[in-house]
């Protein structure tokens, strides 16, 4: 324990697997996660969707555990087992009672290192993924963010949808999926993370046993996707919808950029909370939208900033005019002292409240260690946030939300109306 806060332990095994834990003596559960350094941004155009497809296939079983048996085991423990694919990471994670940690980890490690990936299972699972792709295509509020990614990043892999391309999912044989897995799901590309009622030394030993079954494999040398080229693009999908779904965004900052703390404060002020400028001006004062917010993402070499508005056809021009005015006001005048102080306290509160959850702590451990990011203490995090100044926030707003940097994406009935509404935010 350090200053009353649980401290983490990190062990790097000979194979390269990193095991990181954080003990929380007051709980009787543990959150476990196996984090793999691969995602949609590590795919070529012809591989788009294989990371997500493999994530699904992990649940189809291993030589030691059938798919139904995995479900029955975790159900019998009253546990939660899930997985997720991102732009740069894939994870398999669970929350279990401490007395089931060893058994749960054995199953999860077998899923990650030794999935069956049979052609028969693939034929079934690919249909599920194709249904998932169709579901997202039918949901304009989700679809618009993938369209924005294409607009912001162009042909760069970061611009591709994580879920993948239907033709790739439909046409990939099991042998190709096995090769894809073999090059990425290797010990040197894996982090084992746990938080809660967990014994670090015991988890290290469990990991040694699991990696021995996987065998020593060298990670695949992935092609460098290159730098993101700044270019303002507009993308639109014509679809009969009740609302226009509009997203604006541009390249942001990398995850190790020291300005990341100022960016979180900026995001809160602009549109990240119910007291933010966009929420108040677009929704509360004018009733032009039900959902309006800003957002940020950070990646290894760059990031993304953006905002979203969903509004009826007769309000789209009005809503975008208000958005344009608020962005211009932020760029010109910056934030107020009151906004800065409220946002800093909000960011600290969200972090501290989140760290009361074993799952949140495990996610922080796994994602940070996988990305070679420092695991800052709570005191250090608060210091970094308190150090954010008005000029820090204003400088970021002027840089990241300059009109010439903002690409646009929309889903709605009339592209001409959408493009006309964008004049309010153009340079």
As a dihedral over the C-alpha atoms of residue 119, residue 125, residue 131, residue 133, rounded to 10 degrees, the angle is -80
Any domain includes 127? yes
- The full 3-state SS of 42-54, as one line of letters, equals HCCHHHCCHHHHH
pLDDT in tens, 168-212: 999 999 999 999 999 999 999 999 999 999 999 999 999 999 988
In this predicted structure, the answer to whether residue 3 has a pLDDT above a threshold of 50 is no
Any domain includes 405? yes
Question: How large is the average pLDDT for residues 244-252?
Answer: 97
| CATH number of the domain residue 285 falls in | 3.30.830.10
Contact (CB, 8 A) for 406 and 425 = yes
Where residue 426 falls among pLDDT bands split at 50, 70, 90? confident
pLDDT in tens, 12-67: 999 999 999 999 999 999 999 999 999 999 999 999 999 999 999 999 999 999 99
Question: How large is the average pLDDT for residues 146-161?
Answer: 95
Same domain, 186 and 256: no
Same domain, 179 and 256: no
Cα torsion 253, 257, 262, 265: sign:
positive
- CA proximity to 39, closest of 196, 198, 195, 184: 184
Any domain includes 66? yes
Token pair belonging to 288: 């032009």
Same domain, 402 and 255: yes
**55 flagged as catalytic:** yes
Where residue 110 falls among pLDDT bands split at 50, 70, 90? very high
| Residue appearing with tokens 């497809």 | 53
Question: How large is the average pLDDT for residues 288-309?
Answer: 97
Same domain, 250 and 179: no
Where residue 215 falls among pLDDT bands split at 50, 70, 90? low
Rg (CA), the chain: 23
Same domain, 239 and 157: no
Domain limit, last residue, from 163, 186, 214: 214
Any domain includes 142? yes
Domain limit, last residue, from 179, 214, 249: 214
CB atoms within 10 A of CB 68: 9
Same domain, 107 and 174: yes
Where residue 1 falls among pLDDT bands split at 50, 70, 90? very low
Same domain, 275 and 307: yes
- Reported residue count of the chain is 427
Of the candidates 47, 55, 88, 326, the residue annotated as catalytic is: 55
Same domain, 88 and 156: yes
pLDDT in tens, 381-422: 999 999 999 999 999 999 999 999 999 999 999 999 999 999
Same domain, 392 and 290: yes
Contact (CB, 8 A) for 38 and 32 = no
Q: How many domains does the chain have?
A: 2
Any domain includes 291? yes
Any domain includes 219? no
Any domain includes 206? yes
Give the separation between CA 332 and CA 351, rounded to whole angstroms.
30
Same domain, 101 and 130: yes
Q: Is 4 exposed, middle or buried (0-12, 13-18, 19+ CB in 10 A)?
A: exposed
Same domain, 66 and 147: yes
Same domain, 196 and 260: no
Residue ranges making up the domain that contains 198: 8-214
Give the separation between CA 356 and CA 351, rounded to whole angstroms.
9
Any domain includes 221? no
């Amino acid at each position: 324990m350090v200053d009353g806060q649980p401290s983490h332990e990190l062990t790097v095994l000979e194979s390269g697997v990193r095991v990181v834990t954080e003990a929380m003596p007051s709980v009787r559960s543990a959150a476990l996660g196996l984090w793999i350094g691969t995602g949609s941004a590590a795919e070529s155009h012809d591989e788009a969707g294989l990371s997500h497809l493999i994530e699904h296939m992990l649940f189809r079983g291993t030589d030691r555990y059938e798919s139904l048996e995995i479900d029955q085991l975790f159900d019998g423990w009253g546990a939660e087992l899930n997985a997720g694919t991102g732009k740069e990471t894939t994870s398999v994670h669970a929350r279990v009672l401490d007395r089931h940690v060893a058994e749960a980890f054995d199953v999860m490690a077998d899923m990650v290192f030794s999935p069956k990936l049979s052609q028969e299972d693939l034929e079934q699972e690919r249909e599920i993924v194709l249904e998932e792709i169709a579901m997202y295509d039918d949901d304009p509020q989700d679809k618009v963010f993938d369209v924005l990614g294409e607009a912001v990043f162009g042909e760069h892999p970061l611009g591709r949808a994580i879920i993948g391309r239907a033709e790739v999912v439909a046409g990939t044989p099991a042998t190709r999926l096995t090769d894809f897995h073999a090059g990425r799901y290797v010990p040197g590309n894996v982090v084992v993370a746990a938080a809660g009622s967990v014994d670090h030394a015991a988890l290290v030993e469990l990991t040694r046993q699991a990696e021995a079954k996987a065998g020593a494999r060298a990670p695949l040398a992935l092609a460098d996707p290159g730098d993101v080229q700044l270019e303002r693009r507009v993308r639109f999908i014509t679809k009969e919808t009740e609302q226009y779904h509009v997203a604006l965004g541009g390249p942001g900052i990398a995850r190790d950029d020291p300005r990341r703390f100022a960016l979180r404060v900026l995001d809160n002020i602009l549109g990240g909370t119910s007291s933010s400028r966009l929420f108040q001006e677009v929704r509360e004062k004018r009733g032009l939208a039900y959902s309006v917010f800003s957002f940020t993402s950070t990646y290894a070499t760059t990031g993304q900033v953006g905002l979203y508005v969903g509004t009826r056809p007769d309000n789209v021009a009005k809503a975008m005019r208000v958005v344009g005015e608020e962005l211009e006001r932020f760029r010109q005048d910056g934030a107020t002292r009151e906004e800065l102080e409220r946002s800093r306290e909000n960011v600290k509160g969200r972090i501290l409240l989140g760290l009361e959850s074993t799952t949140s702590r495990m996610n922080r451990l796994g994602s940070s260690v996988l990305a070679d990011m420092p695991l800052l203490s709570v005191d250090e995090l608060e210091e970094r946030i308190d150090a954010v100044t008005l000029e820090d926030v204003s400088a970021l707003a002027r840089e990241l939300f300059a009109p010439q940097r903002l690409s646009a994406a929309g889903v709605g009935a009339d592209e001409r109306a959408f493009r006309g509404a964008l004049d309010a935010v153009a340079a």
